Structure 1
Amino acid sequence: MLVLPLAALMAMFAIFCTQVAGARMDLNSTASAASRAASMARSPQDAQVAATQAAQANLASHHRTCDPLQVTVDTSHFVRGGQVAVTITCTMSTAGLTGLGLPGSLTGSATTHAVIDTYRGLDAGGGS
């Protein structure tokens, strides 16, 4: 008698877990795209703008909505041959993850690093 409702509940839980795992992979992909975009910028200020734009575009291409979306760019090593680190923090509605209208939200973050090309031209304030 309880087998069918329990099976349905387990199936819904499995779908939810799959969607959460997919969202986590999308978040890692977004952080990677943002750090790559930041590493191609010519100055630390441009790196912040490029990372934010890349993160927004990447999330949109995965049909993900973050409210809020926080993009933190570490440009403390923004020199030729250095690196830039980008941390993406995203809060997603659980209703959007499952399509079932579940209340609540999930927050996740991902950090990736990208190396700045040794031969890359940087603005005067950006490095050697």
Structure 2
Amino acid sequence: RLIPVDYASHSAHVETIEQHLTEALAGITPQTSTVPFFSTVQPGFLNTTELDAGYWYRNLRQTVHFHTAIEQLTKSGHTTYIESSAHPVLTYSIEEVEGADTITGTLRRNEGTLTRLLTSAAHLHTHG
């Protein structure tokens, strides 16, 4: 499935948009969150005041450590994962991590309805 961008994420191509991204995000001031934030850029919990333009550039440019992040979260006791997206493509990767028990997406391609969202919520409910 083609994505209409003129750079390849997580590659040197992103370097061509670094200045544009820095300027576009310049007016955003990261705030402290009450919800813990686990980063896939530098796997581990991160203070959300660090989510500045530089962080989001690194997020787009560097390797995503998704599998490492899920492994670390699972080892620390997390077993339920919800992929919040228009189409769940990462749920399959999560299923490969031993100890990740309940995994679901929210929506699916061509199923972006409240019924789909509620069906996903029902899946979570019936799995504890």
| TM-score (normalised: structure 2) | 0.22
More helix by share: 1
Q: Considering only CA atoms, is the larger Rg found in Structure 1 or Structure 2?
A: 1
More strand by share: 1
- Structure showing greater relative contact order (alpha-carbon pairs closer than 8 Å, 6 or more residues apart): 1
| TM-score (normalised: structure 1) | 0.22
